[in-house]
Amino acid sequence: MHIDMNSYFASVEQQANPHFRGRPVGVCAYLSKNGCIIAASKEAKALGVGTGAIVREAKKLIPQIKLVECDPIKYRHVTQGIFSIFRDYTPIVEPYSIDEAFLDLTGHIKNFRFAKKVAQEIKKRIKKEIGDWLTCSVGISFTRFLAKVASELKKPDGLTLVKPRHIPGLYKKLGLTDVWGINYRMAARLNRLGILSLMDLYNYPETNILQILGRPGWYLWAKIRGEEIEEVDPDAQKLPKSIGHSYCLPVVTRDLDYLGKILMKLCEKTGRRLRASGRVANRIYVGWSYKYQYGDYLHRKTPKPIYDTMDIWQTAFGLLKASIRSEVSMLAVTVTDLRPWSGQMEFWHNTIKQKNLTQALDKINDKFGEYSVYHGRMFGTQKNAPERVGFRKSVLIPEKDEDLKYVSEE
């Protein structure tokens, strides 16, 4: 079962403030005119404003739209309540993002009819126990992939079952890019092989797809044919593969002093999360968008594992400084190739001393509040790059001590 909350952040805001209900609402990372809307209510979407819209453009299109700043603590609290309900039906719950999850009901139900009853009860409990303005779309199938496809078919507040016999009819209605995992680039590659539809891919020879597209292509082919490739993994979100932060600038500029300050804060937020996870990084990505162009996204493998904010910033700023060509409207930094910190000392550098100093600063900020102590280059950025919540951010699911709850078959 795949459960996807509808217009989640905006719906939570409408639940919290009755005056927002039934009206177009946009949740923004920040409320400046250059900020972007990270979640739009059903009413806003119906009027043409969706996720990714710029605040100033949204106001032009819908003058009466209600814009609110992102409230991560509120959303995480609501998510924990919702995911706690999921745990009443199975201990195998994978939080795929803050607003969606996979549930493995194997061994807990015996047929699709029973699975539908479980889904209906979960939807009712979310409304009764969490909030009557919150809705979700549910997909039920015999593989993880098809459950996700099913949940996308009816929005909002849908419930769709996909059984093996439904596959041919389903694929005839959908285009290649309508299913999870096929973007326009992959669709173009498939088109060059003569695969123009999902049924073409379904019927394509296995040996050919493996030889031409390799293992990723075979995985996609197998998923389309209803073979289970990825099991529901409750631990999948506990250790992210990358850590980063981005920020749409309130001032569009190519002033390196200003950009360096903002980038330092992004690196500090990234470094704090990296160190809190007990890991180091071996590759750094820095990205930016131009005012009138798409932008760039560059990366560099570091000569040594890094965890310190200054190490992250020096590499990221070096890439930015050498490559910007115009006014910048957005900055992003990400660290990848993560692994646990081993404690191994370098021959020429006292990494233990540096690590202890960095951890001491983190402890001060943990105790007395964020940015009680910070790098001087960050001075004046207190209101920049506030805390935000990503849709793929890990969510703590409260453990259940009591027995699992099952709906009645009657």
**Could you please report the per-residue DSSP string of 383-409?**
TSS-----TT---PPPP--SPPP----
Does residue 268 carry a catalytic annotation? no
Give per-residue burial for 40-54: e unless 16+ CB within 10 Å, then b: bbbbbbeeebebebb
Q: How many C-beta neighbours within 10 Å does residue 23 have? A: 15
- Between CA 151 and CA 103 the distance in angstroms is 13
165 class by beta-carbon count within 10 Å (0-12 exposed, 13-18 middle, 19+ buried): exposed
Tokens representing residue 63 in the block:
């003058």
pLDDT at 401 over 80: no
Distance CA 130, CA 127 (A): 6
Catalytic residue (one of 13, 43, 94, 100) = 100
- The torsion angles phi and psi of 111, rounded to 5 degrees, stand at -165, 175
The most confident of 127-136, 249-258, 275-284, 396-405, by mean pLDDT: 127-136
- The confidence score (pLDDT) of residue 385 equals 65
- pLDDT, tens digit, 9 for 90 and up, residues 331-359: 999 999 988 876 655 544 555 666 777 87
- Chain-centre distance of CA 274, in angstroms? 17
Q: What ranges do the domains of the chain cover? A: 1-112+121-142, 163-228, 243-378
Higher pLDDT among residues 277 and 200, named by residue: 200
Q: How confident is the model at residue 102 (pLDDT cuts 50, 70, 90)?
A: very high
> What DSSP state is assigned to residue 109?
B
Cα(332)–Cα(390) distance, rounded to whole angstroms? 13
How many angstroms separate the CA atoms of 215 and 226, rounded? 17
C-beta neighbour count of 170 within 10 angstroms: 21
Length of the chain: 410
Give 215-248 pLDDT, tens digit per residue.
889 999 999 999 988 888 887 666 677 888 888 8
Mark 244-277 as b/e (b = at least 16 C-beta within 10 Å).
bbbbbbbebeeeeebbbbbbbbbbbbbbbebbeb
Beta-sheet pairing, 159-162 with 136-141: parallel
CA distance 170 to 189: 22
What is the rounded (10 degree) CA torsion for 224, 226, 231, 236?
20
| Average per-residue pLDDT for the chain | 86
For residues 354 and 308, what is the distance between their CA atoms, to the nearest angstrom? 8
pLDDT for res 149: 95
C-alpha 378/C-alpha 161 separation (Å) is 52
pLDDT score at 406: 41
Q: Does domain 243-378 have CATH number 3.30.1490.100?
A: yes
- Of the candidates 30, 72, 75, the residue with the CA atom closest to the CA atom of residue 55: 30
Q: What is the pTM of this model?
A: 0.73
Residue of higher predicted confidence among 147 and 377: 147
Q: Is the dihedral of CA 393, 394, 400, 403 positive or negative?
A: positive
User: Phi and psi for 137 in degrees, rounded to 5?
Assistant: -110, 135
In the CATH hierarchy, which fold is given to the domain comprising 1-112+121-142? MutS, DNA mismatch repair protein, domain I (3.40.1170)
380 or 190, which is more confident = 190
Extract the tokens encoding 313. 């910033």
Per the listing, tokens 């015999």 go with 142
**CA-to-CA separations, 142 to 4, 95, 123, 328, in angstroms, rounded:** 17, 19, 20, 47
CA distance 199 to 61: 40
Which tokens belong to 39? Answer: 């979640």
Q: In which element (H, E) is residue 253 found?
A: strand 243-253
Give bridge partners of residue 106 from the DSSP assignment.
109
pLDDT digits (tens, 9 = 90+) for 282-325: 999 999 988 766 778 899 998 888 888 999 999 999 999 998 88
Which CATH class, in words, describes the domain spanning 163-228? mainly alpha
